[in-house]
Amino acid sequence: MIRNPILPGFNPDPSIVRVGEDYYIATSTFEWFPGVQIHHSRDLANWRLIGRPLERASQLNMLGAPDGCGVWAPCLTYADELFHLIYTDVKRYGRTTTAGASGASLRDFHNYLVTAPSIEGPWSEPVYLNSSGFDPSLFHDEDGRKWLVNMLWDHRAGKNRFAGIVAQEYSPTERRLVGERKVIFEGTPLGLTEAPHIYKRDGWYYLITAEGGTGWNHAVTMARSCDLLGPYELHPDTYILSSRLRPDAQLQRAGHADLVETPGGETWMVYLCGRPLPNRGRCVLGRETAIQRMVWGEDGWLRTLDGQGLAELNPEGPHLPPHPFPAMPVRSTFETGLPIDFQWLRSPFPEELFSTTARPGWLRLFGRETIGSQFRQALVARRQQAHCYCAATRMDFEPEHFQQAAGLVAYYGGTKFHYLHVSHDEAVGKHLRVMSALPDSPQADAFTPPIPLPEGPVHLRVEVDFERLRFGWSLDGESWEWLPQVFDASILSDEATAPGLPNFTGAFVGMACQDMSGAGLPADFAWFDYEERGYRP
């Protein structure tokens, strides 16, 4: 059996490709750097993270990008002995204002292509494609021609923002789009038509899209045509996968799909989903990736195995030899660099933010801008991938005044976090407290009373059980003191938001350091533990 989601925690917008006996999934990373997560499997059930290809400033520079922008919806394909990776770099999402929609419909979506002979790289410099919309996908036709499809954004007053799916030919020799752009599919009444992928089977061009938005009304729509440029006829059931009519389903928000075929001819669909907290309706783990088998009917249309179009929590596995990977260790150390599970925010210049060589064996974070900054923020974190977990670290940090802080953070974005940090002020001296950014509270920021600390290292710990979050600290790493407050972990979710703000990522846990004075006082971290576990009442 497969245990869904196969990529737990923030891993949305999956694109899958098979090369020989190897399968690869690319997922969105938004404002987290490096860009695009790529996972590898040989049996479709067991997956491991193997890399992030967008790692140079020439490929991706997100300094100043608002929360929820950055890298959207990559598409990974293989043709002509090359991997092709298409991605969107979103610079502006727009905002809804109290005065109206002035500028709120304007968006900047820049679409690029990079290629590599191997999934490990080296990945090329990017080729700019267009900025007409997001969710670009590259289709390699049997005649050797290549086509880019993406959703079309229409900012004009009174128009449908999601104006349909457009196609345009891409010339690999000229490294640009050629010919005319054509709208090939306008979508269904469900609306919000996006995430196109094209496949060819038995002479038909099949188009799948996502509709209904990436929330509770999400769905996978299918259409087909004998001509790539249309017209396209809708699937008899219109939507081939969705959870929108099943509020009791454990996998919600199902949509944004891609297809892959095994050597034995089985068709499998990967798609994003969300697992809301019990009785809270909030997906702290963000949008995750699930998979299930699909079947082609005698009428030439694709359906789920039971024909009901529902997401499966534990589908039967494929007819492939099992290929598990070793479990990741609980403790991450920094002797050989930053472990692969960790990312940072926006900047293609990590040497400005942290070092694993300045103090060998330790992660040194240089005090930079405020937590939540959209530019140079020294925050290194990993995904929360289970509803119940504990994380801990040992920190050396001796602040001199109130503008210097460092510690352990449970983080979603600049307006949603709980931050257990060490700082200093003239009244208490060195101390420990929690700062929370609360998106659903009239009080934007909240602080717990300061706890005096002596000089020397301190151990910091967080325990999360669904919507309950608690912090602890220790001087020796054995005897723990727990803060009396119980914090709301559910704010670290897409659904906890102010109107008009994009929310597409998920909860992270990690280490941070600020020095608003500009002195750059560093904090050193010896290791980082992350352990998933069962619920503790």
The residues annotated as belonging to the active site are 13, 194
Sequence-distant (≥ 6) Cβ neighbours of residue 99 within 8 angstroms: none
Beta bridge partners, 390, equal 463, 531
Residue 376 sits at the vertex; the CA angle it makes with 375 and 381, to the nearest 5 degrees, is: 105
State the sign of the Cα–Cα–Cα–Cα dihedral 514, 520, 521, 522: positive
Distances from the Cα of 199 to the Cα of 24, 223, 224, 267, 306, angstroms: 17, 11, 9, 12, 23
Residue type, 418: H
**Tokens, residue 120:** 């490990």
R_g over Cα of the chain: 23
- CA 302 to mean position of chain CA atoms: 28
Whether the bond between 324 and the residue before it is cis, its omega within 30 degrees of 0, is no
Structural contact between residues 458 and 474, judged by C-beta atoms closer than 8 angstroms: yes
Neighbours of 99 (CB within 10 A): 6
**CA neighbours within 13 Å on the CB side: how many for 507?**
33
| 344 HSE (CA, 13 A, CB side) | 29
How long a stretch of residues is the chain? 537
> 20: which residues sit within 8 A by CB, 6+ positions away?
none
Note whether 477 and 461 are within 8 A (CB): no
Strand 468-474 relative to strand 458-465: parallel, antiparallel, unpaired? antiparallel
**Side-chain-facing half-sphere of 415: CA atoms under 13 Å:** 19
In 3-state terms, what secondary structure has residue 356? Answer: coil
Contact (Cβ atoms closer than 8 angstroms) between residue 139 and residue 229: no
Tokens of 63: 């300094």
List CB contacts of 173: < 8 A, sequence separation 6 or more.
Answer: none
- Strand ranges (DSSP E) for 193-308? 194-201, 204-211, 219-225, 233-242, 252-261, 267-274, 288-296, 302-304
Q: What would the DSSP string read from start to end of 326-369?
A: PPPPSEE--TTSS-TTEEEES-S-GGGTEESTTTTTSEEEEPBS
Whole-angstrom distance, CA of residue 504 vs CA of residue 339: 24
